[in-house]
Structure 1
Amino acid sequence: MNPGKVQDLSGKRLNNAPEFKFNLGSQYDFPLGDSLGGFLTLSYRWQSKINFALNQDPVTVQKPYGVFDASVGATAGDGKYKLSLFVNNAFNKHYAVGLGNTTSGFSAPGVVASGTTWQPARDSFRYAGMRLDASF
């Protein structure tokens, strides 16, 4: 075995594993009339920094981040129908589900081409919408 190709990672955190991760959520329900109900939902999720590379490459570390979601809506028919307006990632916090550090096969005297790849999460950008649920 070539000692220059060995890395001792004892005591290091596994890749893609934050030390801390938590979720907070709440829903407030209120009457809007005899047959209508309203609700307000808030949620926040946070995680500590993670390293995406098994070899602990410092380029593939993602800093801690938190994401806030909110929705407001109304229900009818004893909860059979539900209309909600929502915004996910309200503060537009960009984060990744994967980071990579690559070196290109391109070669020229004294030139090395390298880059970092970023794979965004599905909700890594703010988005909003309306949802209609019906139960039968």
Structure 2
Amino acid sequence: MRKAWFPVIALAAIAWSLSGCGDSDPMVPEPTFDNPSTVRVVNRLAGPVLFVHAKPCGTQDWGEDLFRTNHPIEGTIQPGNSRDFTVEAGCYDLRARHLETTEPGPQIEKFAFNQAASPVTPIIWTLEEDSRDPT
């Protein structure tokens, strides 16, 4: 009789482990990468970076936010900090949306195009304030 319950218990344990228990968001599947690389976003702005998107060069759809979280603190890069994102090696266009200051306000976008990421050479994108001509 014990042997008959073993498959049921094993299936229940597998189902429980796949049910999203733990720290990860069950609504956002973890991506898999055959040839991983890194995009490092460095925030040298006065406000936090709220969203970071990457799309393969020459495509139209920006896809999902690279933060892959709905948590308001984990899903930002505060001024003076950086964050690494894992992507498949290749060519990417990048878009970041940030606040002008640490106070709530309109979102501003910054772009970087034709950035090459390889397993050996990551993309390092430093976001800085736009220089303005004082004249």
TM-score band w.r.t. shorter chain: under 0.3
Q: Which has the higher contact order (CA 8 A, sep 6+)?
A: 2
Question: TM-score, with normalisation over the residues of structure 2?
Answer: 0.23
More helix, by proportion? 2
Larger radius of gyration: 1
Give me the TM-score of the superposition, normalised by structure 1.
0.23
